[in-house]
Amino acid sequence: MRGSAPPLGRLVPRRAREGERPVGVPLPLRLPALLALALIVLPVLGLFARVDPARLPTLLTGPAALTALGLSVRTALAATLLALLLGGPLAVVLARSRFPGLRFVRGCVLLPLVLPPVVGGLALLYLLGRTGPLGGPLRDWFGLSLPYTTAAVVLAQTFVAMPFLVVSLEGALRAAGTEYERVSATLGAGPWLTFRRVTLPMLLPALGSGLVLTFARALGEFGATITFAGSLRGTTRTLPLAIYTEAQADVDAAVAMSLLLVAIALLVILVARPKAVEGRG
Amino acid sequence: MNHARRGGGAVAVLTVLLSLVTGCGAGGSGQRTLTVLAAASLTESFRAIGDEFSRNNPGIDVRFNFQGSSLLAEQIRQGSGGDVFASANEEMMTKVRRADALAGQPRPFATNRLTVVVPPDNPAGVESFADLADPDTSVVVCAPRVPCGSATERVESASGVELSPVSEENDVKDVLHKVVAGEADAGLVYVTDAESAGDEVEVVDFPAADEVTNEYPIAELAASEHPELAERFVEFVRGERGREILDEYGFGAP
């Protein structure tokens, strides 16, 4: 796929060739680097040490874990799709148009990355809750009530995860420049045709990594979900929420589910190999 | 050789960091800190008790960690430290005792019972506990894993009314918040939480609630560095002034 997009081939730095001499890293950087790695890896290893291997299969196949896992995967996929349908066009608009206040809008898009998710959840609740300025009319006119529904989970996840997609797509669009799109226009193609035949193919690699990151972030979402959607098995209690609930009473079960989440996260990162994560893209 | 030196450097950095952290925790020489781990439902009453205890015992700083009893019990079992544990039910105290983490015997100091709270205008017109079973009424309760949740289950079986809540929260304060925010038609919380919310909620009393009471036990922890202070605090909570303050906040006598 990557090779089929000639315009981008020029822009992506070539990978370091095998056997190429690496640049030396100074010693004062190596020690903190080691500590940084330890800070990330040791706690996760600690999780593995905490679990009783004999109980693991029972804990992981228990109804609570399976229900939560199923709900998590479904909602995270839905949130990723929603982020693609809404966030994708937003990224194109941000990268390709000029209007006053563009910098401000771009800043707003980054807000969910910086805000604590609980704040996002409260914001959603006060907007879309039954007494909220949007939630009230929705309920009165259409009989729609979002809080406590699976749709609320998807919305909370989209709120928190969509910026990952927007940022990676917008970055790729700006890096690619408008040269090829201009050429396409001079050859007589309209904006829609140019978008489909020129812009979209250039975007595919960034789209892949952006979607993977968005999915991973949605899967791990906790704060916004529990605040906006509540917690009920099968409806709104995703894996992270189930872990929190189990940790109140049965820590072994909570740790087992945590391992499940770690495994899925590793799988997503390693198998899908998002280029943003690997630092070349 | 080189590796050994690097490892030594890392250890040195860690040692300095750790000594900074622990140095701050120890505080001044004259001031002693008592750490009390208490159920979320004790937040307001224990703050008042702590203030008065500090006034009567100069030089002692009482610090609280208010969370769900289940979470606190688990933290104690994992060796989180602390001097005193006040639980919202006996089950969680027993869990801590089985882990040999108690220094003293658990003693009851208060009782609490559940009540129904609704937003001030009572949008769903809840008049009784049975009204909560109406599918159009959105009810928020505590998760069965936490003490207020197990009390909720007992109330359900005592009254024969089965609830289908829209959400099960991990902490009684989260249930209260959903009702105060107007995002639920009703919630099951402790009488004391309803009291602390004042005019922000309306209370709907029901007979089955009286049949189910939670007894709150308190005990000194084995990890305590000031066992004598911990005992003094427990005695204060169970003494006349402690009783009066708890009464003010709506707790019953054990």
pLDDT in tens, A177-224: 888 889 998 999 888 999 899 988 988 888 988 998 899 999 999 999
pLDDT of residue A10: 45
pLDDT of residue A22: 72
Per the domain annotation, does A129 fall within a domain?
yes
Do A231 and B70 lie within an 8 Å CB cutoff?
no
Identify residue A54 by its one-letter amino acid code: A
Q: Is A35 on the interface with B (CB under 8 A)?
A: yes
Per the domain annotation, does A140 fall within a domain?
yes
Least Cα distance to A34 among B8, B3, B4, B10 occurs for: B10
CA dist A50 → A69, A143, A183, A249 (Å) = 21, 47, 60, 15
Chain A residue numbers with beta carbons less than 8 Å from the beta carbon of B170 are 231, 244-245, 248
pLDDT of residue B30: 67
- DSSP-assigned beta bridge partners for residue B115: B189
pLDDT of residue B186: 96
pLDDT of residue B26: 41
Q: pLDDT band at B70, cuts 50/70/90?
A: confident
pLDDT at B23 over 80: no
| Residue that wins the pLDDT comparison between B129 and A10 | B129
pLDDT of residue A158: 97
d(CA B42, CA B39): 5
Least Cα distance to B88 among B138, B30, B149 occurs for: B149
Q: What average pLDDT does the structure give for chain B?
A: 87
The verdict on ipTM greater than 0.85 is no
Do B9 and A148 lie within an 8 Å CB cutoff?
no
pLDDT at B220 over 50: yes
Q: Is A200 on the interface with B (CB under 8 A)?
A: no
Q: pLDDT band at A11, cuts 50/70/90?
A: very low
Chain A residue numbers with beta carbons less than 8 Å from the beta carbon of B74 are 247-249, 251
Do B168 and A245 lie within an 8 Å CB cutoff?
yes
**At CA B57, angle to CA B56 and CA B63, rounded to 5?**
105
Q: Which fold has domain B112-213?
A: D-Maltodextrin-Binding Protein; domain 2 (3.40.190)
Q: Do residues A118 and A156 touch, judged by C-beta distance below 8 A?
A: no
C-beta pairs of A242-245 under 8 Å, 24+ apart in sequence = A242/A64, A242/A65, A242/A67, A242/A68, A244/B170, A245/B143, A245/B145, A245/B168, A245/B170
Supply the DSSP symbol for A149: S
Least Cα distance to B214 among B34, B92, B125 occurs for: B92
pLDDT at A225 over 90: yes
- The alpha carbon dihedral of B107, B109, B115, B121 has a sign of negative
Per the domain annotation, does A49 fall within a domain?
no
Per the domain annotation, does A254 fall within a domain?
no
pLDDT of residue A253: 86
| Residue that wins the pLDDT comparison between B85 and A14 | B85
Supply the DSSP symbol for A199: I
Average pLDDT over residues B39-54: 94
d(CA B245, CA B52): 10
Average pLDDT over residues B134-148: 91
Work out the minimum CA distance from B57 to partner chain A, whole angstroms: 34
Q: pLDDT band at B60, cuts 50/70/90?
A: very high
The phi and psi torsions of B142 (rounded to 5 degrees) equal -80, 150
Q: Do residues A257 and A119 touch, judged by C-beta distance below 8 A?
A: no
pLDDT at B147 over 90: no
Q: Do residues A243 and A257 touch, judged by C-beta distance below 8 A?
A: yes
Domain span including residue A121: 74-231
Chain B residue numbers with beta carbons less than 8 Å from the beta carbon of A27 are 6
Q: pLDDT band at A7, cuts 50/70/90?
A: very low
Chain B residue numbers with beta carbons less than 8 Å from the beta carbon of A246 are 145
Do A31 and B6 lie within an 8 Å CB cutoff?
yes
Least Cα distance to B42 among B121, B147, B138 occurs for: B147
d(CA B213, CA B151): 8
Average pLDDT over residues A86-101: 92
The first and second tokens of residue B196, run together, are 């602390």
| Residue that wins the pLDDT comparison between B29 and B166 | B166
Q: Is A186 on the interface with B (CB under 8 A)?
A: no
The first and second tokens of residue A257, run together, are 């589910």
In total, how many domains does chain A have?
1
Is B172 annotated to bind ligand? yes
DSSP string, B77-130: HTT---SEEE-SSHHHHHHHHHTT-BSS--EEEEEEEEEEEE-TT-TT---SSG
Element (H, E) at B36: strand B32-39
Of all residues in chain A, what percent carry a pLDDT higher than 70?
A: 89
Nearest CB partner across the interface for A31, out of B9, B138, B166: B9
Per the domain annotation, does A69 fall within a domain?
no
Answer yes or no: CATH 3.40.190.10 is held by domain B2-110+215-248: yes
Mean pLDDT check: name the lowest of A173-177, A262-266, B1-5, B165-169: B1-5
Q: Is B137 on the interface with A (CB under 8 A)?
A: no
Identify residue A138 by its one-letter amino acid code: L
pLDDT at A269 over 60: yes
- DSSP-assigned beta bridge partners for residue B33: B61
Q: For residue A13, what are the contacts with CB-CB under 8 A and spacing of at least 6?
A: A280
| The residue count for chain A | 281
pLDDT of residue B114: 93
Using CA coordinates, name the residue in chain A closest to B69. A248
Q: What average pLDDT does the structure give for chain A?
A: 86
Chain B residue numbers with beta carbons less than 8 Å from the beta carbon of A236 are 167
Average pLDDT over residues B204-217: 87
What's the farthest any 2 CA atoms get from each other in chain B?
78
The first and second tokens of residue B157, run together, are 């079986």
The phi and psi torsions of A173 (rounded to 5 degrees) equal -65, -40
Do A230 and B9 lie within an 8 Å CB cutoff?
no
Q: Is A36 on the interface with B (CB under 8 A)?
A: no
pLDDT of residue A112: 93
Using CA coordinates, name the residue in chain B closest to A232. B167
**Of the segments B18-22, B28-32, B204-208, B250-254, which one has the largest average pLDDT value?**
B250-254
pLDDT at B131 over 70: yes
Do B181 and A129 lie within an 8 Å CB cutoff?
yes
Chain B residue numbers with beta carbons less than 8 Å from the beta carbon of A245 are 143, 145, 168, 170
Do B183 and A30 lie within an 8 Å CB cutoff?
no
Work out the minimum CA distance from A235 to partner chain B, whole angstroms: 9
Where residue A210 sits, what CATH number does that domain have? Answer: 1.10.3720.10
d(CA A229, CA A151): 8
pLDDT of residue B87: 95
Q: pLDDT band at B5, cuts 50/70/90?
A: very low
The first and second tokens of residue B123, run together, are 């949008």
d(CA B54, CA B60): 6
Q: Is B145 on the interface with A (CB under 8 A)?
A: yes
Work out the minimum CA distance from A266 to partner chain B, whole angstroms: 27
| Residue that wins the pLDDT comparison between A10 and B221 | B221
pLDDT in tens, A109-153: 999 999 999 999 999 999 998 888 999 898 889 888 898 999 999
Q: For residue B123, what are the contacts with CB-CB under 8 A and spacing of at least 6?
A: B182, B185
Average pLDDT over residues B79-83: 89
d(CA A160, CA A83): 10
CATH 3.40.190.10 in chain B is located at 2-110+215-248, 112-213
Do A27 and B6 lie within an 8 Å CB cutoff?
yes
pLDDT of residue A8: 44
